[in-house]
Amino acid sequence: MKAFLVDCFAAVMRTERSALSDDRSLVELGMDSLIAAEVTTYLQRELDLTLYPRELYDHPSIAALSSYVASELDRMHPAPSAPTAGRSSEPATPAAPAVAPDAPVRPAARPAVERLPGIAFILSSPRAGSTLLRVMLAGHPALFCPPELHLLRFDTLRERQRALGTSYLGEGLIRTVMELAQLDAAGAQGRVAAWLDEDAAIQAVYAWLQALAGARLLVDKSPSYASRLDTLERAEQLFDGARYVFLHRHPYAVIESFVRKRMNRLVGADADPHVFAEQVWATSNDNILAFLERIPPDRAHRIRYEELAREPERVMRATCDFLRVAYDPAVLSPYSGNRMTDGVHHQSVAIGDPDFLHHTGVDSHLAEVWRDIRLPRALGEPARRTAAALGYELPVEASAARAHTVEARAASQRHGPRESFVDVRGLRLCVLTWGSDDAPPVVCLHGILDHAAAMDEIAQRLVRRGVRVIAPDLRGHGRSGHVGAGGSYHLVDFVADVDALARTLGPAPFPLVGHSLGAVIAGLFAAARPGRISSLVLVEIALPADERPVAAGRLTTHLDHLASPHGHPVFPDLAAAAERLHTIMAMPPDQAAVAARRLTEPCDGGLRWRWDPRLTTRAGLSLGDVGSSADQLRELLGRVRCPVTWIHGDRSDLRRTARPVPDDGAREVVIRGGHNLHLESPDELAEVIASALPA
Ligand code: A3P
């Protein structure tokens, strides 16, 4: 694992493997939120492991991260246990068994057994009304439709046990065994415990369930199956001629319900619940759509939840036809008779929808609730694509898109930006300006590997308040000049460029805004030239987490970087470059398309980034290299005489770094969003910046 992570970080940070010793702090080596995001994308792709950037900061060395990743991998994809021999105790008398009910529940990981006949699956995202559909079908005498089994993903029952752990998701199987073998809770638990002792193969458990269900068709509804395509594919490996009922529901209703029921906590997810719920809705439905593409049409059937709730009889008649059972009106009375809607024990949470028993019949008004739901933000592109594939109307996104187009057109006619070039300390810097030349200036400095145009959304809003926004592409970035083969990017050079630019603005003090690295530059400049700045705004300032002074090892790393400059990747076209910006910086697709045009230049084989590849090594950018540790910078900022506003995102990985200024030295403002607040929350950010401008 260590070697794999070293390769991963070396590739992403474009550094030598030798620089990445086990215990060196990755933050000290230059890991920032951009790199963290790229590493998590890499791990997702290579290891199928979703790791959040925060977890990288919590384990900030190769040694710490590798044992953490190894344990997470183990938890997520446990290795199959070694087979052991054994027999299950025999079940109660089965009818028409597909497999003899007293046959041993076979131990083995990935058993090479024949595919089982006769099963149907209900596939859906969570909160799509799957409990309702299951319970409706459970009333049909020719179907056996138990609570959620959560079996399909695993090879053996022990593997399932390890993954589900102490969550109540394991209870559906016990409730099912109670029903089929006519056992009480303790008896069914004992039965499942015996299978666990024997390391029963999952396919054998299915065979046992089918045997006891007798002539009834087993219908397995477990929303967890749709979270992974390979789990869905196992249905075809384990069963012959399986049938699939695809139940889907409007994303607004699913996401709102998911968040309200705190489903992210059920799976232990730490991410923003709305973002997570949206991802779960889109991924589940995408996986089902992709899976069903390969299934013959006579084995797949779609149900739109909204139609099920509005016209239950029509939908259930069609579903019975599909399952090849005669229509039975009992399916329309989900609250009558025993349909396993209770838990294993009296006090157990009901399996499936915990609120199912709060209703008394099929509640048609729930079909329409999505129309009144206002999520805190518009759906992202992937969820919008899925909604389009499923034929769902998205009124909020449609009107936002219209408003955005109108506003963008109007804004671009009114406010620029205008591009100009100035010679600064031997380099040509590109400077963008928004607003009238007579208006008082506000200077904005962007972050590492970003560019001046990224401030557009903020600048447009500030200009409407009567100011002129001036944002340079920092040296080596955007359309500004590069230092050349013999140079490097030292923090003091960026500060000196700002010093030179400031002289072109005349003697009056001006407000200075910086994001990330730009905030560090802004802070150093304000500290060094106290009379020049009237208000200092530090957005997501990137202080080093490690307080130690510059070490010889870091200097060696920087020398290594400078000795072997790396090139840029080559993109086939603008769309690929835009996709990269969208993925890595979470830039909205329309902005990523505009930024990709500005940030790329032609090269052999396509396009490459226009910024200087030396910047990706971060050589020279560490605060330690200008002789100031984070503490020293804090001390410098404490001496700034103008008002200071420190802004950070509530979901930012940098949020936990210590205050950049003494307690009483700055107004602190928290905004909803991550590191790139200028992209994620432009309205709020512009509002706070505007409030920090001198009257
Ligand atoms: P809410 O309770 O949040 O509205 P699932 O079973 O897949 O988890 O889906 C749960 C959702 O099914 C519920 O979410 C509810 O909207 C819907 N549902 C539950 N019981 C229902 C009923 N009797 N009639 C109509 N819809 C029902």
- Are 455 and 556 within one domain? no
pLDDT of 692 higher than 60: yes
- The ligand 1 atom at the shortest distance from the C-alpha of residue 335 is 23
Alpha carbon 168 to chain centroid distance?
25
Host H or E run for residue 219: strand 217-221
Let me know if residue 536 belongs to a domain: yes
Host H or E run for residue 422: strand 418-424
Pocket test for ligand 1, best of 125, 252, 363 (most atoms within 8 A of CB): 363
pLDDT band at 54 (very low <50, low <70, confident <90, very high): low
Mean pLDDT of 329-342: 93
Residue nearest to atom 17 of ligand 1 (CA): 129
pLDDT score of 635: 80
Let me know if residue 338 belongs to a domain: no
pLDDT score of 100: 33
Structural domain span for residue 62:
2-75
CA of 263 to the centre of ligand 1 (A): 14
pLDDT score of 445: 98
Residue 646: helix, strand or coil by DSSP? strand
- The ligand 1 atom at the shortest distance from the C-alpha of residue 361 is 23
pLDDT score of 693: 93
Let me know if residue 665 belongs to a domain: yes
Of all residues in the chain, the percent with pLDDT exceeding 90 is: 47
Residue nearest to atom 8 of ligand 1 (CA): 127
CA of 360 to the centre of ligand 1 (A): 12
Domain end: 164, 180, 214, which one?
214
Which of 135-149, 197-211, 271-285, 605-619 comes out lowest in average pLDDT?
605-619
- Are 439 and 509 within one domain? yes
Let me know if residue 530 belongs to a domain: yes
pLDDT digits 0-9 by tens, 265-296: 666 556 678 888 999 999 999 999 999 999 99
What residues does ligand 1 touch, defined as CB less than 6 Å away?
A: 126-132, 223, 257, 260, 309, 352-353, 355-356, 359, 362-363, 366
pLDDT score of 561: 67
Question: Is 484 or 533 the better-scoring residue by pLDDT?
Answer: 533
pLDDT score of 423: 92
Of the candidates 497, 521, 496, 525, the one whose C-alpha atom is nearest the C-alpha of residue 510 is: 525
Mean pLDDT of 503-509: 92
Domain end: 59, 75, 91, which one?
75
Q: Encoding tokens for residue 15?
A: 């550094």
What end-to-end distance do the CA atoms of the chain give, in Å? Answer: 56
pLDDT score of 97: 28
Q: How many residues does the structure list for the chain?
A: 695
Mean pLDDT of 551-576: 73
Let me know if residue 203 belongs to a domain: yes
pLDDT digits 0-9 by tens, 414-426: 567 899 999 998 8
pLDDT score of 362: 97
pLDDT band at 625 (very low <50, low <70, confident <90, very high): very low
Amino acid at 435: G
Mean pLDDT of 59-79: 72
Residue nearest to atom 18 of ligand 1 (CA): 129
Question: Is 548 or 210 the better-scoring residue by pLDDT?
Answer: 210
pLDDT score of 112: 43
Pocket test for ligand 1, best of 355, 364, 368, 370 (most atoms within 8 A of CB): 355
Let me know if residue 185 belongs to a domain: yes
pLDDT score of 618: 61
pLDDT score of 411: 52
Sign of CA dihedral 134, 136, 139, 142: negative
Question: Is 150 or 406 the better-scoring residue by pLDDT?
Answer: 150
Alpha carbon 410 to chain centroid distance?
33
The strand ranges marked E within 598-655 are 600-603, 606-609, 644-649
Tell me how many domains the chain contains: 4
pLDDT score of 563: 73
- Are 55 and 152 within one domain? no
Q: Look up the pTM and report it.
A: 0.50
- Are 512 and 647 within one domain? yes
Cα 512 from Cα 151, distance rounded (Å):
58
Cα 3 from Cα 26, distance rounded (Å):
15
Of the candidates 80, 90, 222, the one whose C-alpha atom is nearest the C-alpha of residue 154 is: 80
- Are 60 and 167 within one domain? no
pLDDT of 85 higher than 70: no
Please name every residue paired with 601 in a beta bridge, in sequence order, or none if there are none. Answer: 608
Of all residues in the chain, the percent with pLDDT exceeding 70 is: 81
Question: Is 84 or 334 the better-scoring residue by pLDDT?
Answer: 334
Amino acid at 406: V
CA of 126 to the centre of ligand 1 (A): 10
Let me know if residue 115 belongs to a domain: no
pLDDT digits 0-9 by tens, 368-399: 999 988 888 889 889 999 999 999 999 888 87
CA of 133 to the centre of ligand 1 (A): 9
- The ligand 1 atom at the shortest distance from the C-alpha of residue 131 is 6
pLDDT score of 93: 24
- Are 579 and 655 within one domain? no
**Contact between 636 and 538 (Cβ < 8 Å):** no
Residue nearest to atom 25 of ligand 1 (CA): 363
Domain end: 50, 75, 100, which one?
75
Residue 98: helix, strand or coil by DSSP? coil
- Are 492 and 445 within one domain? yes
Which of 2-11, 100-109, 445-454 comes out lowest in average pLDDT?
100-109
Which of 383-387, 459-463, 604-608, 660-664 comes out lowest in average pLDDT?
660-664
- Are 444 and 511 within one domain? yes
pLDDT score of 655: 58
For 238-247, b/e burial (b = at least 16 CB within 10 A) is: bbeebbbbbb
Cα 567 from Cα 545, distance rounded (Å):
29
CA of 243 to the centre of ligand 1 (A): 23
pLDDT score of 544: 62
- Are 559 and 442 within one domain? no
- 42 to 38, 127, 176: CA distances (angstroms): 6, 30, 41
CA of 129 to the centre of ligand 1 (A): 5
pLDDT of 92 higher than 50: no
pLDDT digits 0-9 by tens, 221-242: 999 999 999 999 999 999 999 9
Cβ neighbourhood burial of 488 (10 Å; 0-12, 13-18, 19+): buried
Let me know if residue 40 belongs to a domain: yes
Query: Residues with Cβ < 8 Å from 635, sequence gap 6 or more?
Result: none
pLDDT of 192 higher than 90: yes
Residue 156: helix, strand or coil by DSSP? strand
pLDDT score of 484: 84
pLDDT score of 685: 96
- The ligand 1 atom at the shortest distance from the C-alpha of residue 247 is 7
Of the candidates 236, 212, 222, the one whose C-alpha atom is nearest the C-alpha of residue 160 is: 222
pLDDT of 528 higher than 60: yes
CA of 256 to the centre of ligand 1 (A): 12
pLDDT score of 404: 63
Q: What is the CATH number of the domain that holds 71?
A: 1.10.1200.10
pLDDT band at 567 (very low <50, low <70, confident <90, very high): confident
- Are 605 and 635 within one domain? no
pLDDT of 79 higher than 50: no
pLDDT band at 81 (very low <50, low <70, confident <90, very high): very low
The Cβ-side half-sphere exposure at 409, using a 13 Å CA radius, reads 5
**CA-based max dimension of the chain:** 95
- Are 648 and 673 within one domain? yes
CA of 284 to the centre of ligand 1 (A): 17
pLDDT score of 480: 94
Residue nearest to atom 20 of ligand 1 (CA): 356
pLDDT digits 0-9 by tens, 544-555: 655 454 455 566
pLDDT score of 392: 95
pLDDT of 515 higher than 70: yes
Query: Residues with Cβ < 8 Å from 659, sequence gap 6 or more?
Result: 634, 646, 666, 668
- Are 497 and 605 within one domain? no
pLDDT band at 489 (very low <50, low <70, confident <90, very high): confident
pLDDT score of 259: 86
CA of 128 to the centre of ligand 1 (A): 7
Q: What is the CATH number of the domain that holds 488?
A: 3.40.50.1820
Question: Is 566 or 505 the better-scoring residue by pLDDT?
Answer: 505
pLDDT of 58 higher than 60: yes
Cα 316 from Cα 618, distance rounded (Å):
62
pLDDT of 562 higher than 50: yes
CA of 336 to the centre of ligand 1 (A): 17
CA of 211 to the centre of ligand 1 (A): 31
- Provide the mean pLDDT of the chain: 83
Pocket test for ligand 1, best of 122, 123, 127, 307 (most atoms within 8 A of CB): 127
Question: Is 80 or 263 the better-scoring residue by pLDDT?
Answer: 263
